[in-house]
A = this chain, B = another copy of it.
Amino acid sequence: MHDLKDSQFDRVLPPCSICNMRKDCMCAMCNAQELDALQSAKSYRSVEKGQVVAFPQDELSYVGTIMSGIAVLSRLLEDGRHQNVGLLYPGDFLGRPGRKKMPFLVTALTDVEICSFEAEVFSRLLEEAPGLHARLLEMMLDELDASRDWLLVLGRKTARERICSLFLHILYKQSRTQFSDVLQAPIAFQLFMSREQMADLLGLRLETVSRQISQLRADEIVHVTSGNTVIVTDPHGLLEGAGNDADGGLWA
């Protein structure tokens, strides 16, 4: 089934059977047969921090799963305004099954590694793999929820609440455990984006982001190191600042 060349190629890729991303990604519901099909079609791609993964209106020739790193989807307006409309974390799906064009700009916020599939190949795989299909629906429903939670943040929250919500979101993504754990003790996270990226995500300007973070610092809710590490010294204050009950407004 595989000739020698293919085998060599396969050798550089971790087999799906031992992939530690599997429980979180589109392959989570695949059976052995489906995994085999995916395995033989996959290839890895790397994108460096700051580089563009896909330009808006481009045909993205592949789809895939983020294996490591974080990317951001942005929607652009002609006059230069732009709005980040989603973050891609490890396990998240990149691409639009059944669609050609990406209406977004996709940028790597950190170095990103992608387990990728040629678009047409993937379309065929999708038809033949109900487990893949089911899991993808599940994931897209989660994305939809996340996106709608974000709408609440952009439509109704103050600048301070938006920053707090973002910090909580990052904490939540980072520690997939019970979220209430965050309340317990000082906890830190790496802020993997610039003030400008935060502003584009939160519908603010970078100066406002900076001011609000300074304010959170003055209120002794967080401490920000050089290197952009945020230490949450007052988790409860952060929750209060986000303006919603516990896990209510966290874009899952």
Residues of chain A touching chain B, judged by Cβ–Cβ distance below 8 Å, are 73, 75, 77-79, 81-83, 85-86, 96-99, 103-104, 127, 130, 133-134, 136-138, 140-141, 143-145, 147-152, 154-156, 200, 202-203, 243-245, 248-249
Contact = CB atoms under 8 A, between A and B. Distances in A.
Contact of A75 (B96, B97, B99, B151): B151
Given A75-B149, A144-B147, A148-B86, A156 B203 contact: yes
Contacts of A97: 137, 141
Number of copies: 2
Contact of A83 (B85, B152, B243): B152
A133 B141 contact: no
**For A97, A151, A249, which residue has the most chain B Cβ atoms within 10 angstroms?**
A151
Contacts of A104: 148
Contact of A152 (B75, B98, B141, B202): B75
A202 B156 contact: no
Contacts of A249: 75, 77
Given A79-B243, A152-B83, A99 B144 contact: no
A44 B225 CA distance: 59
Given A75-B149, A78-B244, 14 more contacts: A73-B148, A75-B151, A75-B152, A77-B248, A81-B156, A86-B148, A97-B137, A98-B137, A98-B141, A103-B145, A130-B133, A140-B144, A144-B147, A147-B148
Nearest to A204: B155
B82 A156 contact: yes
A147 B154 CA distance: 12
Given A96-B141, A103-B145, A78 B245 contact: yes
A152 B243 contact: no
Nearest to A56: B248
24 contacts: A73-B148, A75-B149, A77-B152, A77-B244, A77-B248, A78-B244, A78-B245, A81-B156, A83-B152, A83-B155, A83-B156, A96-B141, A130-B130, A133-B133, A133-B137, A140-B140, A144-B144, A147-B147, A147-B148, A150-B151, A151-B151, A154-B154, A155-B202, A156-B203
